Structure formats: C-alpha cells, structure tokens
Amino acid sequence: MKIINLNDNENKLYYIGGVVRDEILGLKSFDVDLTYVGNAIEFAKTLKNAEIIKINEPFGTVRVKIDGKEIDIASTRAEIYEKAGHLPTVTKIGCSLKEDVSRRDFTINAMAKQYNSGEITDYTGGLEDIKNKQLRVLHDKSFIDDPTRILRALKFAVRFNFTLEENTKKLRDEYLKNVNYDMSFKRVKKELIETFNLNSQTAYDEFISADIYKLITEKDIQKPDINIEQFVNKYKNLINPQNIWLIYVGTVRDLENLEPTLTKEEKKILDDFTLIEKRNPQNDYDIYKMFEGLMSETVILYGVMENSDIAKHYLDNLKDIKISITGQDLQKLGFEPSKKFGECFEFILKEKIQNKHLTFDNEIELAKKFFE
Ligand code: CTP
C-alpha cells in the first residue's frame, strides 16, 4: 500500500534494492527501501502530512512519519571504498539513479521501481539474472571493496536457491585465497547472523567447502560429521532463534576476529563450550554436572562438535531433573544447617538422576538415610 501521496508529475522517488527484488520474486520483503533522485531531506520537507523524525545529513537520509507509519527515504548517493573492507565514504548526495545503483552488491539488488508509475529501471541486468537464478556482482573489485558481499551471496543463494554466476564465483574464490583481515568484523557478524539464523545445512556445507569460513579465520576447520540443521531443529524450542548462527559459526574454533563484536551472552555460550569440550563424563551424574547451568546453545554446540549422544541424552532425559527438598525441609527434620546440607542434596540428586520418579517423600527418606 502506498503511504506517500505524490503529485502525478513527481517521478524521482523509487523503491530500491531488496524490496524490488523480493516483489519480482513474489516474496515478502523484510524492509522497504526508498530512494529519491536528488536530496531526500529537501524532498521530505515538501511532503504534506509528513513529520520529519530524523535526519542523517552526511548520508542524505531522512525518516518521516506519515499516518503513524515511519518510513526511511535515502538520497541517491555515490560512494567510494577508501579502505577496502570498511564502510565506504559518501562522495556525492543526489547523483543519478544509474550512479546510485552502480555502487551496490548484485544485479538483483540494483533494480529500482518508480513509486508513482511502478516502472522498473534495471540498468545492470537484474531481471535477466533473476530469470536465470543467478547472483552477479556489478564489477570485478566488488568483493575486495566489501568482502561481506561473499556472505551476502551465500545468504541470497540459500534464501532464493540461486547460484553464483561464473565470473562472480571466480572473483569470490580468488578473494578467499588471499583474505585481507583488516575489515569491519561488525559487518561480517551481521551477515553471519542473517545467513546462519536461516538454519540451513546447505549454507553451512557451502561455507566450509568453498572456504568462505576463511573470511573469519586463517586456520583450517574440522568439519563436524553431523547435520547441524537437523540437530538444531530437534531442539529448536530450547534455542533463542537469534543464537542459531552461533551453533554453526561456533564450529570455527578460532573466533578471535569476531570476539570484539560478540555480546556477553554470545561470549558465554562459546566460552562455556571451551570449558567443557575436553571432558569425558563417565555416567549420567557426570553428564548432568557437566552441563548443569549452561545455556542450551552451549550444550547443542557440544552436541555438534563432540558427541551428539551425550548432549542429546542430557537434553532428552536429564536436563529437567531437580530435587524437591530444600534446606527448610532438612531443618524441619531436626538437622542443623551446615555444609553437610549441600552434600545431602548432591546425594539425593545422584539417586534422582538414576530414578527420576523419586517423590518428595522418597527424598525425605534418602535425607534421613544420609544423616544416619
Ligand atoms: N548493499 C550493498 N552492499 C552491501 C549491503 C547492501 O550493495 N554490503 C545494497 C544492496 O543494494 C541492498 C541494499 O543495499 O539491496 C539494502 O541492503 P540490505 O537491507 O542489507 O539488504 P536487502 O537487499 O534489503 O536484503 P534483506 O532482504 O536481507 O534485507
């Protein structure tokens, strides 16, 4: 539905990028990008019923509120990559549409659709590539300028079931043989999240076999002999969907480059895995104690990397075992609080792990036995 009311002769406002691609593919878009050929900020000021919410002068972007809905409008802009792998610098606001689309990643993301007339402008052959289900870069330096596009290619390939056009694939493979690690890993992380939160084994297989993982580490990887997608699906209700990517990317053991970009929770998931990975539990109690208190994502990563049976057994059979009696119950039985209480709880827990149907009364009996 059109929110912005334009004069019939206004022809400089366009839908651009992903939203045009998705509409052609018959898919729902995540967000709607609009671009104005000229200065979007000045344009926004002329709009009736539009309240200006936010202006980003250097980028020429503006957020407006119309009928209670917030919309971002960008100015057409030209950019250069002064430092490969980092954010580009804006060199011109209000350039031609052709110049604006030529800074973009793939032909399928470089189409524009006029807001008023719906006419498609396709300077780079995006429609043809959509027909052929291909991802094609716009120039040979694309991956050098912005290596995150290698992950974007993987993401789009999996999302749309597309393949990389021959020269694009060649450029990708050349880059991966000689990665420049002086890049913005914050941007890499964003693409890793968007790629692997799709929970796709196909994406992971390609990530490893095409050496795309070399974007984050120089070290080789030991590919786990397990279908991660199936494993994650089995335990989906235990995983925060925002963390799925960590189960995949956690298999790349050297994550030093990504480390500064990780949140506290993400670090905990990975660090806890490092603490347990070498353990060799001998019985159910050992398994329980090994995983006790850890986030499910850590247990699942262990399942993927080390031994799926142990992790599965914990998640399927042991995770929810808890003893019912408390210190108060022990005091009611006449025992004085001491560190013996802790030992008693462990004693009961050990029994309960062997027989999870123990009742509260059974636990009381065991406590009495313990203090005998
Ligand atoms: N873009 C680019 N290079 C990047 C990131 C983005 O050229 N590294 C351009 C593409 O034209 C893309 C647009 O910016 O279509 C918007 O980027 P983004 O919102 O990340 O992607 P979408 O194509 O909208 O895809 P998604 O559906 O995943 O949001």
Among residues 284, 285, 280, the alpha carbon closest in space to that of 345 is found at 285
16 CA → ligand 1 middle, Å: 10
140-183 pLDDT, tens digit per residue, is: 999 999 999 999 999 999 999 999 999 999 999 999 999 999 99
Which CA distances in Å does 213 have to 226, 238, 245?
Answer: 18, 26, 13
In total, how many domains does the chain have?
A: 3
Residues 101 and 211 in one domain: no
pLDDT in tens, 262-293: 999 999 999 999 999 988 899 999 999 999 99
Query: Model confidence at 307, in pLDDT bands (50, 70, 90)?
Result: confident
pLDDT band at 340 (very low <50, low <70, confident <90, very high): very high
Domain-located, residue 100: yes
| Cα–ligand 1 centroid distance for 72 (angstroms) | 14
Across all residues in the chain, what is the average pLDDT? Answer: 95
Q: What phi, psi does 333 have (nearest 5°)?
A: -80, -5
The pLDDT of residue 1 is 66
Q: Tell me, what amino acid is at 144? A: I
Residue that terminates a domain, selected from 294, 315, 336: 315
Residue 59 has pLDDT above 70, yes or no: yes
Confidence (pLDDT) at 10: 81
Which tokens go with 8? 């019939």
Residues 120 and 234 in one domain: no
335 shares its domain with 258: no
Could you tell me if residue 289 is inside a domain? yes
322 domain-assigned? no
Q: Is residue 343 domain-resident?
A: yes
Residue nearest to atom 25 of ligand 1 (CA): 18
Planar angle of CA 101, 105, 110, nearest 5 degrees? 35
Domain co-membership, 115 together with 70: yes
331 and 307 within one domain: no
Measured CA to CA, the distance from residue 110 to residue 124 in angstroms comes to 7
Please tell me whether residues 109 and 191 are part of one structural domain: no
Domain carrying residue 292: 184-315
Residue 111 within a domain: yes
**Distance from residue 46's CA to the centre of ligand 1 (Å):** 28
Q: What is the pLDDT of residues 344-364, one digit of tens each?
A: 999 999 999 999 899 999 999
Which CATH number covers residue 98? 3.30.460.10
- Residue 54 placed within a domain: yes
Q: Domain check: are 293 and 331 in the same one?
A: no
pLDDT of residue 5: 82
74 with 3, same domain: the answer is yes
3-state secondary structure of 16: strand
Q: Could you tell me if residue 266 is inside a domain? A: yes
Question: Best substitution site from 75, 104, 108, 139 to test ligand 1's pocket, by max atoms within 8 Å of Cβ?
Answer: 104
Q: Does 364 share its domain with 331? A: yes
More confident residue, 31 or 186: 186
Quote the radius of gyration of the chain (alpha carbons, Å): 28
User: Which residues have CB under 6 Å of ligand 1?
Assistant: 17-18, 30-31, 33, 104-105, 109-110, 146, 148-149, 152
Asked if residues 294 and 276 have their Cβ atoms less than 8 Å apart, the reply is yes
Question: Are 362 and 303 in the same domain?
Answer: no
188 and 106 assigned to the same domain? no
Pairing of strands 163-164, 134-135: parallel
Q: Whose CA is nearest to atom 23 of ligand 1?
A: 18
Question: Does the residue 125 lie in any domain?
Answer: yes
Q: Which of 31, 32, 77, 109 to mutate to test the pocket of ligand 1 (most atoms within 8 A of CB)?
A: 109
% pLDDT > 70, the chain: 100
Give the 3-state secondary structure of residue 120: strand
Q: Ligand 1: distance of its center to the CA of 246 in Å? A: 22
Give the pLDDT of residue 6.
81
* CA-CA-CA-CA dihedral for 283, 286, 287, 289, to nearest 10: 160
Please compute the mean of the pLDDT values over residues 131-135 and round it to a whole number: 98
What pLDDT digit, counting tens, does each position of 2-45 carry? Answer: 788 887 778 999 999 999 999 999 999 888 899 999 999 999 99
Provide the whole-model pTM.
0.94
DSSP 3-state assignment of 311?
A: helix
On whether both 120 and 75 belong to a single domain, the answer is yes
In tens, the pLDDT along 213-225 reads: 999 999 999 899 9
Strand order in the sheet with 51-56: 51-56, 61-66, 69-75, 34-36, 13-16, 112-114, 120-121
